[in-house]
């Protein structure tokens, strides 16, 4: 489902309390999850990806 939330991956910039439990509860009840494209993603948090410093500032 929402694999990028919180502790789903080894390397993440999310807080330990960001687990996606609220979205999981909504999905289990059967309500649609909306606007997930607006979940913030930090490319600098991907392990092993090396972005030049100037590229990080352009986000």
Quote the pTM value. Answer: 0.47
Q: Which helix (H) or strand (E) holds 53?
A: helix 53-57
Per residue in 3-22, pLDDT (tens digit) is 456 566 666 667 777 777 88
Query: Residue 23 sits in which domain range?
Result: 6-57
Per residue in 11-57, pLDDT (tens digit) is 666 777 777 788 888 888 999 988 877 776 666 566 666 666 666 66
If you average pLDDT over every residue of the chain, what do you get? 69
Q: For residue 1, is it within any domain?
A: no
Q: For residue 39, is it within any domain?
A: yes
Number of domains composing the chain? 1
Rounded to a whole number of angstroms, the distance between the first and last alpha carbons of the chain is: 26
Q: What is the pLDDT of residue 30?
A: 93
Q: For residue 18, is it within any domain?
A: yes
Contact status, residue 15 vs residue 42, Cβ threshold 8 Å: no
Of 28, 57, 56, 32, the C-alpha closest to 44 is 56
Q: What is the pLDDT of residue 22?
A: 81
* pLDDT beyond 50 at 2: no
Question: SS3 for 3-35, per residue?
Answer: CCCHHHCCCCCCCCCCCCHHHHHHHHHCCCCCC
């Amino acid at each position: 489902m929402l694999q990028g939330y919180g502790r789903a991956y080894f390397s993440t910039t999310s807080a330990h309390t960001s687990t996606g439990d609220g979205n999981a509860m909504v999905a289990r009840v059967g309500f649609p999850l909306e606007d997930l494209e607006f979940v913030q993603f930090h490319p600098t948090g991907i392990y092993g990806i090396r972005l030049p410093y100037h590229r990080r500032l352009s986000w």
